Amino acid sequence: MTEILKIKALGKSFGRRRVFSDLSLSLEAGRVYGLLGRNGEGKTTLIRILLGVIPADQGEVFYKGRKVGFDSASHKQEIGYIPEDSFFFGGMRVGELLNFNAAFYRSWDGRRAAELLKRFSLDPRARIRTLSRGMKLQLEMAVALAAKPEFLILDDPTSGLDVPTRYDFLENIVRELADAGTTVFFATHLVHELERIVEHVFILDGGRLVVDKDYHLLKDSTRRLRLSFESPPPEKLGLGGVLSERRDGRRVELVVYPWSEEAQAGAQRLSPLHMEIEPVSLEDIFRSFVAG
């Protein structure tokens, strides 16, 4: 497996506010990565640094093994970017935006662009500001995919869209994956759909990477524990790895990571009346990591 992107000890501050420091991660080609984090935690900042939009204060970025600086442009030929908001030039028409972008990308495929426009039912002569949010997203997809990227970066593109639209969007991503084996880096706080396609999970919280794990391993290592007791249990349960805890009288609900035999034994030692062990959805895993 080839490494497509590596970040080493990245740090960034805005004035006195330190967004993250000493951030390191590595991406393999062809896989789908999810970057989970709450709003304002630095997902967009990290992506902007990767795309050379803003400079990092410390650290280095390597694309396919070669170091890329703030002003490097050639590696971006292979990167497609679907941003959160439409940073568009609203007065432009759909077709004009495509032409505008075509001038930047050497690998631009005009026929593919036309195909995508047709598939998304976008009128090339429509002015961008007249498009709905969902259609703007589709336009951004068309722009990103027409350049035949090897690496696709998405920054929460579906927030604010209704569920069917989100599914449509995801379906298009899936098709792209099936056709081209693109590496996908999907930053979002709407985790529900991501779970269907993600292969490796990063969770950013408090400026640090609190989770950097294969998706299935993560799921396997997390359990929801529902315990009910005779009498209200003590404050401290003495269990390790509790990510989040909810109490309701004699009932306690815990999300535990990492799950193991010892953890189960420890729970049983508390002599609960009743114990249920359940899997945890990625969404709940995310919430437990960032809330606690």
Site string for another protein, 53-92 (x = CB under 8 A): xxx--------------xx-xxxxx-x-x-x-xxxxxxxx
Distances (CA, A) of 239 to 40, 235, 260, 276: 32, 11, 12, 16
Closest separation in Å from C-beta 203 to another protein: 16
Tokens 């990477």 — which residue? 209
Q: 3-state class of 269 per DSSP?
A: helix
Q: Which residues pair with 23 in a beta bridge?
A: 10
Distances (CA, A) of 150 to 189, 196, 200: 24, 21, 18
Give the footprint of another protein on residues 136-175 (CB under 8 A): 167, 170-171, 174-175
Q: Which of residues 13-32 bind another protein (CB under 8 A)?
A: 14-15, 31-32
Query: What CA–CA distance (Å, rounded) separates 140 from 80?
Result: 10
The CA angle 35-22-158, to the nearest 5 degrees, is 20
Q: Which is nearer to another protein, 223 or 238 (CB)?
A: 223
The two tokens of residue 90 are: 């609203």
Per rule CB under 8 A, count of chain residues that contact another protein: 61
The site string for another protein over 170-189 (x = CB under 8 A, - otherwise) reads: xx--xx-xxx----------
Length of the chain measured in residues: 292
Tell me: does residue 119 bind another protein (CB under 8 A): no
Q: Which stretch binds another protein (CB under 8 A): 2-10, 58-66, 248-256, 281-289?
A: 281-289
State the residues that interact with another protein by CB under 8 A.
Answer: 14-15, 31-32, 48, 51-55, 70-71, 73-77, 79, 81, 83, 85-92, 96, 99-101, 103-105, 167, 170-171, 174-175, 177-179, 192-193, 195-199, 216, 219, 274, 276, 278-284
